[in-house]
Amino acid sequence: MSDAAPRRILLKLSGEALEGDGDGGIDFATIGRFCDELVEAHAMGVELGVVVGGGNIFRGAGGEANGVDRPTGDYMGMLATVINALAIQAVLEKKGVPTRVVTAIEMRPVAEPYIRRRVLRHMEKGRIVIFGAGTGNPFFTTDTAAALRASEIGAEILFKATKVDGVYDRDPNKDSRAIRFEELTYTDVLTRQLRVMDATAISLCRDNKLPILVFNLTQPGSIIKALRGERIGTLVRGD
């Protein structure tokens, strides 16, 4: 990654990142902490888009075990992402940063429908845009939504915020011998089946030459360090 801060980024947050140390739900203290970093990034002049998951409330793929068919479960998960998007919006605006929530499924009393040109205009005006409802289609993850939106808005890099400090060759929570990669290619990720993002998202980033930085959001200052070009996490880029 270049030493110069990127002009426009897309930040992908998992729903689990919003629950803090709790077991599900939304922890507003946790949201407040990473929103402080978004406020600082915004003050640096960076144009910001955020795609948020809904796994802290409901995960579509998990509904099948309880008799919910996959499309219905995925739509339920999309609605969960909108709840999270509104929570992030509320915290950011309380901190004085203008935002817009846009959704792939129309719900006009709650948020704007996704229209690419309108989103670009919001970003040019200094508003943080929060994308809810994934792609609006079942069977697609919010990782794919992040890769898609990042490509559509011309983001220079996709920040994938997780609970671990990068990509490992095995689960570091289960094996102390796990090795962290500093840099990978898209092909490395796909052939080794590394748990970065799903294959559709990785392929989309590869096709659009969109680098991905995977880092630990729970470590304070990670977003700002990444913007300043400091070496953190794992960078995934061209073959």
23 to 1, 18, 20, 77, 163: CA distances (angstroms):
35, 10, 8, 17, 14
DSSP class of 174:
T
pTM of this structure: 0.93
What is residue 195's predicted lDDT score, i.e. its pLDDT? 82
Domains of the chain: 8-237 (3.40.1160.10)
d(CA 180, CA 177): 10
What is residue 4's predicted lDDT score, i.e. its pLDDT? 64
d(CA 81, CA 66): 20
Pairing of strands 99-103, 157-162: unpaired
What is residue 20's predicted lDDT score, i.e. its pLDDT? 78
What is residue 146's predicted lDDT score, i.e. its pLDDT? 98
pLDDT along the chain (239 residues), means of 10: 75 90 86 95 96 89 81 95 97 98 96 97 97 96 97 96 88 85 94 90 96 91 91 90
185: part of which helix (H) or strand (E)? strand 183-185
Q: Give the chain's length.
A: 239
